[in-house]
Amino acid sequence: MKKLFIHIFLLCMFSFYSFSGEKVNVVVIGAHPDDCDIDAGGTAIKFAKAGHNVLFISVTNGDAGHHEKGGGALAKIRRAEAKEAGKRFGVEYIVLDNHDGELMPTLPVRLNLIRLIREWNADVVIGPRPNDYHPDHRNTAILIQDAAYMVIVPNVAPDTPPLKKNPVFLYTEDNFQKPYPFEPDIVIDITEVFDQKIYAMSAHESQFFEWLPWTNGTLEQVPENKKDRLNWLAKWRNPHVKDNIRKGLVKWYGEDKSSSIKQAEAFEICEYGRRPSDNEIRELFPFFKD
């Protein structure tokens, strides 16, 4: 009963903000602690700095993502890293207790995500496409897709009040080409907050300075000094703005401003959620008005 009261209170509070137009409620969902950070960290910082509400959800606890550590000990490390990253991003960060590498799109996990999306009264939900090398990423995408319509259905997870309207669901950018390549419908300039994104990401020390370099054979290249590590991570995670992303920047920022943009994050509209007009996108992403 107490939990239900809290759910209802949060829903009412966020409903007021959303209705008044003062706040946008954003949920970013990733398979592992650090996925949200990589895919939408800059956009999250921009929302948070503007006073909006951002929630990061890691669907697994990351307990398999290391070459020397594992299990509960690693999950504890990754949860602490996510908590610190959340502080640096200015967002709330939740890590669910599902095993890394074993995630399946089951009904209990889907219902958990539905409840969290409802509690946050999400206007925008961001997550991966179902085209990916990692089964956890693919299954996270399926979970999000399966939740997309159900968040407004009262008899699904009836212990948490349904949303009054379906959020806009967005896919994050990837390089996979089959069955079709990523299509950038919305592109956000993150140049001004890129350094903060890198600093926030660096909280995941076990990943960016240990596990991931080990997987790609560059562990010996990781600097010892914290400042050097930030510079190293920035070079590694500073992708070239592709031609199709550049075209999206021109659409949303204009020819003159877009030409000076160095870093961007792009999103594709998921057809399972609400289909926003360009005007609605400009309301949900007020950065284009700057």
Task: Give me the pLDDT at residue 239, please.
Answer: 78
CB atoms within 10 A of CB 73: 11
Parts of the chain with a pLDDT under 50: 1-20
For the chain, state the CA radius of gyration.
18
Strand order in 124-127's β-sheet?
92-95, 53-58, 25-30, 124-127, 168-172, 264-269, 186-189
In a domain, residue 107? The reply is: yes
Task: Give me the pLDDT at residue 274, please.
Answer: 93
Domains in the chain, number: 1
Task: Give me the pLDDT at residue 48, please.
Answer: 98
The dihedral region occupied by 187, where left means phi > 0, alpha psi between -120 and 50, and beta the remainder, is beta
In a domain, residue 148? The reply is: yes
In a domain, residue 35? The reply is: yes
In a domain, residue 146? The reply is: yes
Task: Give me the pLDDT at residue 213, please.
Answer: 96
- The pTM for the full model equals 0.91
Task: Give me the pLDDT at residue 238, please.
Answer: 87
Task: Give me the pLDDT at residue 290, please.
Answer: 55
Task: Give me the pLDDT at residue 14, please.
Answer: 45
Task: Give me the pLDDT at residue 289, please.
Answer: 67
**CATH number for the domain that contains residue 142:** 3.40.50.10320
Domain membership of residue 46 as a residue range: 2-188+266-273
For residue 205 the two structure tokens come to 């020390």
β-bridge mates for residue 264, sequence order:
189
Task: Give me the pLDDT at residue 22, please.
Answer: 75
What's the rounded Cα separation, in Å, for the pair 72 and 77? 9
In a domain, residue 226? The reply is: no
